[in-house]
Amino acid sequence: MRERVDYDEFSFFHENAAEHGLPFDAPPVVRRRDVEVAPGRHLSALAWQEAPPELVLLHGGAQNAHTWDTVALALDRPLVAIDLPGHGHSDGGADPSADQLSAHVDAIDVGAAIRQLAPGAAAVVGMSRGGVTAIALAAAAPELVKKLVLVDILPGIKAERAKHIGGFTNGPPSFASLDELLTRTKAFNPSRSESSLRRGILHNAEQQPDGSWVWRWARHRAGSALNPPNPESAVIRYEVLWDALSQVTVPVLLARGMRPDSVLGDDDEEELGRRLPSAQIVHFADAGHSIQGDSPLELAALIEKFVFAQ
Catalytic positions are 128, 152, 289
Query: Three-state SS for 33?
Result: strand
Nearest Cα to Cα of residue 36 among 97, 115, 107 = 115
Distance CA 184, CA 245 (A): 36
Query: Three-state SS for 34?
Result: strand
- With 0-12 / 13-18 / 19 or more C-beta atoms within 10 angstroms meaning exposed / middle / buried, residue 34 is middle
Contact, 111 vs 101, CB < 8 A? no
Distance CA 238, CA 100 (A): 10
Q: Which amino acid is at 269?
A: E
- With 0-12 / 13-18 / 19 or more C-beta atoms within 10 angstroms meaning exposed / middle / buried, residue 248 is buried
Query: Who contacts 231 (Cβ-Cβ below 8 Å, separation ≥6)?
Result: none
Q: What angle, rounded to 10 degrees, do the helices at 231-246 and 266-275 form?
A: 50
